[in-house]
Amino acid sequence: MTAVPGAFALVLHSHLPWLAHHGRWPVGEEWLYQSWAHSYLPVVDLLERLAAEGRRDVLTLGVTPVLAAQLDDPHCLRGMHHWLGNWQLRAHGAVPRLPELAAREHRAAARALERFEARWRHGASAVLRPLVDAGVVELLGGPLTHPFGPLLLPEVRAWALAGGLADTALRLGHRPAGIWAPECGYAPGMERGYATAGVRRFLVDGPALHGDTALARPVGDSGVLAFGRDLEVTYQVWSPKSGYPGGRDYRDFHTYDHPSGLKPARVTGRHVAPHDKRLYDPQRAAAAVARDAAAFVDVVRARLLALHARHGRPALVVAAFDTELFGHWWHEGPAWLETVLRALPDAGVRLTTLRGAEAAGFVGEPVELPASSWGSGKDWRVWAGEQVSDLVELNGQVQKTLVQTVADAPTPDQLANRLAEEALLALSSDWAFMVSKDSAADYARRRAHGHAAHVTELAELLRQGRRAEAVRLVAGWPPAPFGHVDARALVRA
C-alpha cells in the first residue's frame, strides 16, 4: 500500500500503586496479579515476537518505578506464581458447570504459568531490558510513586522525579530521557524541572495543546518537548463514553461465574443485564479484533493524510493508553494490539517512538501550556477537587513534615529514608483518583491516611530523639517499595 506521510507513535503507560502487603481481595495484590497475568505477560510476549522479526521502534513503553519495584519484588514474584497456579485450579473447578470456558481458561493459565516460570521468575527487569537495549521500545520513566506533580512542593517534585529516574537506571540500565508525567499533570514551569533532571520529552493530553498535536512542541525556552495525545485517534479505542472494548462480541469484564471467578459472558449489549448476557464465543471475538484493527488502521491513515493536507507537511499522531487496558480491562486487547502493530506498516504507516519522532524532526514552534491533566475536565479537579479536599490537605501536611524532618537530619539516616518512602506512598495520585471515581474509595482513603499517619508518628519520634522506639515502630510496618531512597537528596533538590 502507498506510504502515508508522517508517523504514528503508540505510547503505553504501565502503572499500579504499591499494592504489595496491602490486602489481597477485592483490592490489593489481586489487582497486581490480574494485570500481570492478563496485560504485562501478553504485551511483553507480543513485543518479543516482533523483536525476533527484527522490528525496532515499535512503541514507547512507560513503566513507573513503583510498578517496576513490584514486578521485581520476591514477595510479589512468589504471589504471582501462586496466583497463576490458582487460576488453573479455578478453571478445573468450573468444568462441571462451564466445560468449554474451563478448558480455555485452563489452557491459558498453563501457558501463562509456563511463560512466567521460564522468563519472569527473577523479575521484570531481566525481561524488559533486552527490549530496551535493542531499541524495540523507547522507555519512559517517572517519579517514584506516581504523585500528581502540580500539587507537589517544587523540592519534593524534583526529588521524586530524580529518584524515579535513578531507580529506572538501576533496574534497566537506561536513564529515561522521556517521562509520562503522572496523570499527564502539568503546571506552568514544570518544564524547567524536567530540563534540570535531564528529561527531554513528556506527555500531555491533547487539549493542553488546543488539539494541535501534529508535532511535538518545545515548552517555552526550556527545550523540553511536549507530545500531545491525539484524542481523535485515541478515543477510537478508549474514551470516557465509548471505544472498541465495549463491542458486543468481546468478553465482558464485569460478569463473573462467582464460584470460580472466571468470566463466561460477552458484552452482548451496553445496557444488557448480567443474567441476560450471551456466552462468550472466541470466534466472534477474533472476528471483532480483525474488524476493529482494520478500522483503526483506516482511522490512522485518514488522520495522517488530513493533517498533511491541513499543515502542508508530514505530521505525527500519538495514541496513548494505560497498558492495563490491553488484557486486564479488555481481554482481547493484546490480540488487537499485535494485529494493529503488524497491519500499520503494511498499510504504509510508519511506526515510531517519541524519541524517533524527535529525531525525525516532528517538532514545531515553542508554546506555553496551561495547567492541565488527562482527567475529567482536563484540569486538576480529580486530584484537587472538593471530593478529595481531605487528601489535598493531608498531602500538603505530609510534604511539610517530610521537608522539615529531612532538614533536621544531620547525617544520612535510614529512619528518615523510611519516613520519606511513607510520604511518597501517601502522595500517590491513585488514591485521589480512586476516591473521585468512587472506585474502591474506602481502600484508597485508608491507604493515604495510613501512610500519612506513619509519617506523622515517625517524625514525632525523631523530633523527640526517641530513636529506639522509632526503630521498633518501623519494624512493625509492611515493607516499602525501594531500598535506596535517600531522604538527604531532598535537601539538595
CA distances from 439 to 306, 376, 385, 445 (A): 39, 15, 16, 11
> Which residue is catalytic, options 73, 138, 167, 183?
183
> Which residue is catalytic, options 322, 413, 421, 422?
322
Note whether 194 and 140 are within 8 A (CB). no
Torsion of CA 358, 338, 19, 373, to 10 degrees: 40
Tell me whether residue 322 is one of the annotated catalytic residues.
Answer: yes
Residue 212 assigned to a binding site: no
pLDDT in the model for residue 25: 87
Length of the chain (residues): 493
Tell me whether residue 183 is one of the annotated catalytic residues.
Answer: yes
User: For domain 385-492, is the CATH number 1.20.1430.10?
Assistant: yes
Note whether 126 and 296 are within 8 A (CB). no
Summarised one tens digit per residue, pLDDT across range 377-401 is 999 999 999 999 999 999 999 999 9
For 7-376, CATH gives 3.20.110.10
d(CA 463, CA 489): 19
d(CA 450, CA 398): 12
Residue 23 assigned to a binding site: no
pLDDT in the model for residue 248: 97
Query: Locate cell 491507604: which residue?
Result: 447
Residue 87 assigned to a binding site: no
Listed as ranges, residues in the chain with pLDDT below 70 are 410, 493
Residue 229 assigned to a binding site: yes
Note whether 154 and 193 are within 8 A (CB). yes
| DSSP 3-state of 152 | coil
In 55-152, which residue ranges form alpha helices assigned H by DSSP?
Answer: 65-72, 74-93, 99-115, 125-133
Note whether 169 and 484 are within 8 A (CB). no
pLDDT in the model for residue 493: 64
Structural domain spans, the chain: 7-376, 385-492
pTM for this prediction: 0.97
pLDDT in the model for residue 226: 99
pLDDT in the model for residue 314: 98
Q: What is the largest CA-CA distance in the chain?
A: 73
N-term to C-term CA, the chain = 52
Summarised one tens digit per residue, pLDDT across range 63-111 is 999 999 999 999 999 999 999 999 999 999 999 999 999 999 999 999 9
